[in-house]
């Protein structure tokens, strides 16, 4: 129904029409409306331009780190080096769990836009209206699943397929019980030579050519195997103990310091300061109870320099072990850096420090083998310094181990642990004595089988 002025009335649900007049803008609330914008500078990146990256088909977090790569261009006298904004740029990241991310510039064939189109980034100051413009790079970041990089050999199925019986035998040898493995081995041995079992006295069947060839190959392979004595000798050499001459007739010839330490290393051990201090009857400050109780007496004996060199080398080993710390893995210890180690072992020369570091550690870490080797060296040196009969109490306190552990280390070098009492004492003390024949601990043969 039309109104009186001839216009149609609007329905109740229709919105009101927008006014044609534009609202006035207060210049105080919108300062940019009254400020002109002018570009102050157009700069180019000196090393790496800013990047405008798009990720079609995927969503990335803002904290994904990328590593930039630029193609090196050979600059000659005639041609100058291209600016970074004109060089080809690529971004790569492997921080994603399953996808390798790569950002490249794409031309008409890709999705990055036209090749002649340039990208810029602008920084605008709204108060002054100044704008700084810098040329940027537009890259397209795409992802590649790492499983796609697998080799063709790994993805291809094996050509040779085993039969069901062979697969069953392999499964039994891998996961079967002892009884099942014994049955499989018995079947394999009986498959070579089978008894007819007919009772006619014909005996076993004759071997065919394949079985004879197999037996000949087995004989050639086992002919070069080591005997029980050779295996035992190899086990003894691999133990963390100093090398010994077990064929010696005198106990002094079993362990030679020139062999398990080295003649050149012993000559390099400094002893002049200790020898002069002993001659002047001055006190020598050391951090070892064993060394402190013997340095004065050994400096006045016959062959004083030889004794003092062994004592000083023992002191270097004790100081080296005391300055180690517990490692990350259980049962290991970390050694300090080379500079700190040289400062701790002063006045030891560099050759002695490197000899100790390489012999009793590997990669800055002392494993159980290196710890046992150092302990047995210390036990042997105490026996040599105390005329092959020593009391482990002082060395035990220096190395901070218990009595049972130090006794085991003395037994590893062939010493005997005796119990003796001093005059006027009621409690006996442990004594380690090195004498021929040497007594080494017996190897454990494992637990005996229970009878059913």
- Mean pLDDT over each residue of the chain, to the nearest integer: 79
Q: Tell me how far apart the alpha carbons of residues 106 and 115 are, in angstroms, rounded to a whole number.
A: 8
pLDDT at position 44 over 70: yes
Q: Which of 114-118, 236-240, 298-302, 374-378 has the highest mean pLDDT?
A: 374-378
CB of 320 closer than 8 Å to CB of 312: no
Q: Is pLDDT at 27 greater than 60 in this prediction?
A: no
Query: How does residue 116 score in pLDDT terms, banded at 50, 70 and 90?
Result: low
Q: Which DSSP category does 371 fall into?
A: H
The residue extents of the domains of the chain are: 37-70+82-149, 251-433
Q: Whole-structure pTM over 0.95, yes or no?
A: no
State how far the alpha carbon of 268 is from the alpha carbons of 261, 271, 359, in Å.
11, 9, 16
Which of 395, 351, 391 lies closest to 374, judged by CA? 395
Torsion of the alpha carbons at 432, 433, 438 and 439, rounded to the nearest 10: -40
Name the residue with higher pLDDT: 68 or 202. Answer: 68
Q: At what angle do helices 164-175 and 178-192 cross, to 10 degrees?
A: 140
β-partners of residue 416 are: 433
Residue 33 has pLDDT above 60, yes or no: no
What integer is the mean pLDDT of 135-149?
81
Rounded Cα distance, 190 and 86, in Å:
77
Q: What confidence tens digit (pLDDT) does each residue in 309-361 have?
A: 999 999 999 999 999 988 888 888 999 998 998 888 888 889 999 999 998 98
Region for residue 424 given its phi and psi (left: phi exceeds 0; alpha: psi -120 to 50; beta: otherwise) = left
Tell me if 176 sits within 8 A of 188, measured CB to CB: no
pLDDT of 199 reads: 47
Average pLDDT over residues 427-439: 86
Q: CA 278 to CA 236: how far, in whole Å?
A: 41
* Alpha carbon distance 241, 410 (integer Å): 10
State CA 103 to chain mean position distance.
33
d(CA 299, CA 291): 12
Instruction: Of 414, 395, 390, 420, give the one whose Cα is nearest residue 405.
Output: 395
């Amino acid at each position: 129904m039309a109104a009186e002025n001839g216009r149609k009335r609007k329905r109740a649900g229709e919105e009101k029409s927008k006014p044609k007049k534009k609202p006035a803008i207060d210049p105080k609330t919108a300062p940019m409306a009254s400020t002109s914008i002018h570009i102050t500078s157009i700069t180019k990146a000196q090393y790496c331009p800013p990047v405008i990256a798009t990720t079609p088909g995927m969503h990335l977090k803002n904290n994904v780190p990328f590593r930039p790569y630029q193609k090196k261009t050979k600059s000659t006298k005639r041609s100058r080096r291209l600016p970074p904004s004109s060089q080809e740029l690529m971004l790569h990241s492997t921080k994603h769990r399953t996808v390798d991310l790569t950002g490249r510039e794409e031309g008409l064939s890709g999705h990055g836009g036209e090749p002649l189109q340039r990208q810029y980034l602008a920084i605008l100051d709204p108060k002054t209206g100044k704008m700084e413009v810098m040329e940027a790079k537009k890259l397209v970041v795409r992802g590649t699943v790492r499983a796609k990089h697998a080799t063709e050999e790994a993805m291809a199925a094996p050509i040779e397929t085993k039969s069901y019986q062979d697969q069953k035998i392999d499964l039994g040898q891998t996961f079967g019980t002892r009884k099942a493995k014994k049955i499989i081995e018995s079947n394999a041995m009986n498959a070579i030579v089978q008894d007819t079992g007919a009772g006619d006295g014909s005996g076993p069947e004759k071997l065919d050519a394949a079985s004879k060839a197999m037996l000949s190959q087995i004989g050639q392979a086992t002919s070069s195997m080591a005997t029980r004595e050779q295996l035992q000798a190899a086990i003894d050499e691999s133990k963390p103990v100093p090398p010994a001459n077990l064929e010696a007739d005198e106990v002094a010839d079993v362990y030679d310091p020139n062999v398990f330490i080295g003649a050149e290393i012993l000559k390099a051990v400094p002893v002049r300061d200790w020898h002069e201090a002993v001659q002047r009857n001055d006190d020598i400050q050391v951090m070892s109870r064993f060394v402190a109780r013997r340095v004065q007496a050994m400096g006045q004996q016959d062959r004083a320099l030889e004794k003092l060199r062994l004592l000083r080398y023992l002191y270097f080993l004790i100081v080296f072990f005391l300055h180690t710390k517990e490692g990350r893995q259980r049962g290991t210890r970390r050694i300090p850096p080379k500079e700190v180690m040289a400062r701790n072992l002063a006045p030891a020369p560099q050759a002695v420090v490197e000899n100790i570091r390489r012999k009793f550690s590997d990669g800055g870490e002392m494993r159980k083998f290196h710890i046992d080797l150092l302990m047995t060296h210390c036990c042997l040196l105490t026996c040599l310094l105390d005329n092959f009969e020593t009391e482990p109490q002082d060395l035990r306190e220096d190395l901070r181990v218990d009595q049972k552990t130090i006794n085991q280390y003395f037994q590893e070098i062939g010493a005997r642990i005796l119990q003796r009492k001093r005059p006027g004492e009621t409690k006996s003390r442990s004594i380690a004595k090195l004498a021929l024949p040497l007594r080494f601990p017996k190897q454990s043969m494992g637990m005996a089988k229970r009878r059913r």
